[in-house]
Structure 1
Amino acid sequence: MPPTTPAEAKRLVDKLWAYANVLRDDGVGTIDYTEQLTYLLFLKMAHERAILPFADEAPIVPDEFSWQRLLDAKGEALELEYNRILTELGKQPGTLGVIFRKAQNRIQDPAKLSRLVHDLIDKESWLATGVDIKGDAYESLLAKGAEDVKSGAGQYFTPRALIDAIVDCIRPTIDDTIVDPAAGTAGFLLAAHAKVEEDDPASFTPPQREKLRSSLVHGVELVDGTARLAAMNLLLHGAGDPRGDSLIEVKDSLIADPGIRWSVVLSNPPFGRKSSITVIGADGRESRDDIAIERPDFVVTTSNKQLNFLQHIATILDTPGRAAVVLPDNVLFEGGAGETLRRRMLRDFDLHTMLRLPTGLFYANGVKANVLFFDKKPARADGGAWTEKLWVYDFRTNVHFTLRQNPLTRAHLDDFVDAFAPGRPRDERVESERFRAFGYDELVARDKANLDLTWLRDESLENLDELPAPEVIAREIVDDLTAALAEFEAVAAALEAAEPSSDD
């Protein structure tokens, strides 16, 4: 069957979300509706996979909990059967247990549940769409509920076009091991897995084929519901074993060094600067927070989540290894712990590329973010710094996107990927209007090793009629105030450290 067109995919998605308004009257919110779709679409697609003519593998879902059981039940019996299936699948070991852990039926009207099962889901062939219908459906949900700030759903989703461009630059292969310590809905892991599959799995050795299925990618996610969607997506894309260990761990990545190293790290850590947990690094600085975790593998102590994720990624990256991480602007210019970490990254890692992103890509309004690309290598024999040049691509200045009217597409990032020159020596890169290289000595000589690098003229500042939207300006003010508070925090810490002890 040929792949479904974008218009057809949109029809399928719109068909599902139209029903969200019906359920909202029964108190089923957008996030609860997403969970129910997760369960039901998973059961339906597992059913489709099991009846494929060439399917020679064991069914993902045991027959006693299959989609057919729901189709055979009517009225109140359907509600009872759905509750039973959710409960029993939640007790299963491995990936099935992760997907259905603590699963509950939020649709209390049997007639509406029947319509969702029989009319909206069963009448479509979801695996035959030729698209990642689950990712499209989730993206559509976030777009419709983006104004629901309290749900926080947007923080788990990275635009697929951006993910695809990053993965095209990193170029993972079957010889890699790939991890995302803030997996969200597994967008990076799915894209990396698909990229490796492009290398013609038929040419892989049996151990390589097994690796592709069971151990190429790995993710960690803190939130149960998000981990559920990630595990489901991977499994339905042929990654993972329904009865084996899940490729998604449900835990806090920052709690401890996992003791495992990966050759590729791809991640977009959650937005938000502060954490309720302060991690005490090798600098030994004491924490005033009630909850503190010692990470001697970390360079600095900070409660800034992005800085801690960056330190964690630096730890879990193998030697040699390569990483791409989406991080907000404050990581580039924040003083104190931020400066210390930037100088360490420039010296001990090859921080070779930065993609400056425009606003309008994420569901949190006004977010200014960047993608940092860096490699981990053995210590240099001469003790010198690994970063020789940081290449910066300014995709922000005079570039404007919105989630609905002008969304980002993969084609928008073609010029960046071409400039990145994946697979070619970096000395073959060519500077352009938007792509410039900055030498190591120039970078470390900047005040606080500030990497907030700009050179293009911002046309919006020349015309008051083209100023950014008020919410964007407000977000920029908040970011500036946050950075200022971080500077004061660093000064206070330095003064405390310099203050003589009462025993002196």
Structure 2
Amino acid sequence: MTVVTTPAEAKQLVDKLWSYCHVLRHDGVSTIDYVDQLTLLLFLKMAQERADRRLGKEVIVPVGLSWQSLLDLEAKELKDHYEAVLEELGKNPKTARGLIYHGSENKIRSAGTLKKLIVDLIDKVNWSGTGVDIKGDAYEALLEKGAEDVKSGAGQYFTPRPLIDAIVDCVRPTPQDTIIDPACGTGGFLLAAHQHIVDNHRDKLSHDDATNLQSISGIEIVHDTARLAQMNLLLHGIGRAGGPANIDVKDALAEEPKQRVSLVLANPPFGRKSGLSTVDEFGKVTREDVSYDRTDFWVSTANKQLNFVQHIAKLLKVGGRAAVVVPDNVLFEGGAGEQIRQRLLKEYDVHTLLRLPTGIFYAGGVKANVLFFERKEVRPDKPWTEKLWVYDFRVGQHFTLRQRKLTRAHLQEFVDAYHAEKREESDRFKCFTYEELVARDKTNLDITWMRDPDLDNGDDLQPPEVIAQEIVDDLQAALSEFAAVAEALQLAKAERGEQ
């Protein structure tokens, strides 16, 4: 068997795995479904490898449902047996193994193609024999390739790794932190937090610290995405296949937190409204907005980004900190948005805002920011936010997903400014007092002061593909806002009883 030992070999493995995606498209398997189907098979292969070890054997999957049982069958018998394996392994979704298989289905219609995938590709690699980083990185690369498929919509579950790493380097997770991502997607924030702790505290981890590190958790409303996240964590050494699942499949906003945590990292799904759409027998579409009945929320609203901000604030225990990616509308929207910003500034220390450039997310048209804040003891006589430092990394920055990709190095200046012993203002880093913030119309935190240097110089310095992508991003963002306004007007009309 081949043992992967270097990053270069890991890349070769990913390229080989991905080459089968094109084959499976002819079998009706979409790009994101391909990663999902690989996940189901990879787990079985690694479980077999652990059962075959000389030392520390671990039986994760019963013999009759094992990887070897797939290898032993001819193609014509394989498909039915594999589908029975999926059903049996998914019966207990509270375990990591059960979560991966619960509700799964075989989407590879051709028994011959399935046999080829098992025998010619996956069985020839010893996944458990690779280093955790290597096999984890390979799987991360597969998820990223899936996210690149714009038509699949998978990009909404994938936050760029350079951005995640910079955010984690800012908040500096510790072994004592209780860490959760309430909208975890494929688990990128959880992996980065875990890796940061291991890299910086490896020699000082106590038994309790190591146990706590395994309890890193996430919540994801889409089951197929939760499956990918759980597999991602297992491949990076987080959790146990037969132990409790690290990912909880549910709507994080539906209920008050059962326990408070010390660190929340999140990039909640974008899109303004929470709701359910139904189609009647005449084809008429009606929409029921969801305003969560949360007595702990400051304001009732159907805007799910604002609800996530409230939820994350309530998730924190005193002394806890959060870093959350939010779209621009969270910073300037009136009504509920204004009230939430006022409460957040008063009751929490909202100390830093990072304005992000366009062109870095797989979901197009995204204009986003990272909001950093901490929960404090109740102090009714004085607001906790004294100064908000805003770092503008948007103006004059031009990125695309291919020609000019965001790297971790691009964000180093911000991370250095974040951790400066004494923060100092610069062209990109400005400080605003609490009094200045609340004096702004609607407590608007969408603050900008810079002009694009390309415009000031009168030069068109950007290549045509960058300019074209920025135009597309701006148009998509504008269309999203107009669609939300149109939807709000329709709802208001319906509430007045007008036809």
TM-score normalized by structure 2? Answer: 0.87
Residue number in structure 2 paired with 1:284? none
Provide the rounded CA distance (Å) in 1 between the counterparts of 2:251 and 2:344: 23
Residue ranges of structure 1 left out of the alignment (5+ in a row): 279-287, 497-504
Contact 2:160 2:360 in 1 (8 A): yes
Provide the rounded CA distance (Å) in 2 between the counterparts of 1:346 and 1:14: 48
Contact 1:221 1:227 in 2 (8 A): yes
Provide the rounded CA distance (Å) in 1 between the counterparts of 2:442 and 2:289: 30
Residue type of the alignment partner of 1:138: L
- Per-residue displacement from partner, 1:463-487 (whole Å, max 9, x unpaired)? 5956554422312422553686699
Provide the rounded CA distance (Å) in 1 between the counterparts of 2:177 and 2:258: 17
- Per-residue displacement from partner, 1:91-130 (whole Å, max 9, x unpaired)? 2451111110011111121221122112222223445264
Residue type of the alignment partner of 2:213: L
Kindly indicate whether residue 198 of structure 2 is the aligned counterpart of residue 204 of structure 1.
no
Provide the rounded CA distance (Å) in 1 between the counterparts of 2:98 and 2:243: 10
Q: Is the partner of 1:246 in helix, strand or coil?
A: coil
Contact 1:334 1:483 in 2 (8 A): no
- Per-residue displacement from partner, 1:122-151 (whole Å, max 9, x unpaired)? 2234452643211111101222x12x1xx3
Alignment of 1:280-359 (within 5 A): 289=288, 291-359=290-358
Distance change in 2, residues 1:63/1:210 (3 Å):
farther
Kindly indicate whether residue 444 of structure 2 is the aligned counterpart of residue 450 of structure 1.
yes
Distance change in 2, residues 1:192/1:64 (3 Å):
farther
Contact 2:328 2:446 in 1 (8 A): yes
Residue type of the alignment partner of 2:6: T
Contact 2:292 2:301 in 1 (8 A): no
Distance change in 2, residues 1:486/1:307 (3 Å):
farther
Provide the rounded CA distance (Å) in 1 between the counterparts of 2:230 and 2:36: 13
Alignment of 1:351-390 (within 5 A): 351-380=350-379, 383-390=381-388
TM-score normalized by structure 1? Answer: 0.87
- 1:461 to partner: Cα distance: 4.5
Kindly indicate whether residue 371 of structure 2 is the aligned counterpart of residue 393 of structure 1.
no
Residue number in structure 1 paired with 2:411? 413
Distance change in 2, residues 1:481/1:342 (3 Å):
same
Residue number in structure 1 paired with 2:97? 96
Provide the rounded CA distance (Å) in 1 between the counterparts of 2:65 and 2:317: 41
Residue type of the alignment partner of 1:231: Q
Residue number in structure 2 paired with 1:436? 430
% same residue: 54
Alignment of 1:8-19 (within 5 A): 8-19=9-20
Provide the rounded CA distance (Å) in 2 between the counterparts of 1:198 and 1:49: 26
Contact 1:90 1:98 in 2 (8 A): yes
C-alpha RMSD over aligned residues: 2.8
How many residue pairs were aligned?
472
Distance change in 2, residues 1:25/1:488 (3 Å):
closer
Distance change in 2, residues 1:314/1:277 (3 Å):
farther
- Per-residue displacement from partner, 1:338-397 (whole Å, max 9, x unpaired)? 1111111111111111111111111121210001000001012x6211111111111111
- 1:258 to partner: Cα distance: 2.7
Provide the rounded CA distance (Å) in 1 between the counterparts of 2:52 and 2:414: 43
- 1:50 to partner: Cα distance: 4.8
Residue ranges of structure 2 left out of the alignment (5+ in a row): 278-286
Residue type of the alignment partner of 2:27: D
Provide the rounded CA distance (Å) in 2 between the counterparts of 1:347 and 1:57: 55
Contact 1:327 1:372 in 2 (8 A): yes
Distance change in 2, residues 1:193/1:361 (3 Å):
same
Kindly indicate whether residue 256 of structure 2 is the aligned counterpart of residue 257 of structure 1.
yes
Kindly indicate whether residue 177 of structure 2 is the aligned counterpart of residue 183 of structure 1.
no
Distance change in 2, residues 1:370/1:71 (3 Å):
same
